[in-house]
Amino acid sequence: MLSESAVARTEAHECWMREALRAGYEAQTRDEVPIGAAIVVADRLIAVAGNRTRTDCDPTAHAEIIALREAAAIVGKYRLVNAVVYSTIEPCAMCAGALIQARVPLLVYGAKDDKAGAVDTHFQLCRANELNHRVKVISGVLEPECRELMQEFFKARRKDEGGRMK
């Protein structure tokens, strides 16, 4: 049985992950891969973003990167040492590297990414001893919802375009 504080933390993680999911759904309306990210500092949402790679014609415009940029601008520092980053999907190598560079202490993500995940699935970047910072990771928060959003997007994509992305 979970303690009251553990239940409260779980509920808080689910609340903030829902913000990331909302951003993922919004990204989907722009025909983007529906990944969302939210950044919380001191129990306050300071940044939220969805993927914008196609919208911005920018290969680095992943949800996590956009949210990190917004959060750093709001905090006024590029080190986000008190931030918790929520991502609907396990971050890729670029995004995991950005979390490390920003000195983010905690990443919470929803579903694993079997192809490009660089936190747990491949590389384990957030806990690599060779790097000068490690990010604590909590995975599986609202996993079914996060996984379903991605699966439904790509299922529709394959049906509409014979499996090829635009």
SS (H, E, C) 104-121: CCEEEEEECCCCCCCCCC
Residue among 64, 130, 143, 161 flagged as catalytic: 64
Q: Does residue 64 carry a catalytic annotation?
A: yes
Phi, psi of 37 (to 5 degrees): -140, 145
Catalytically active residues are 64
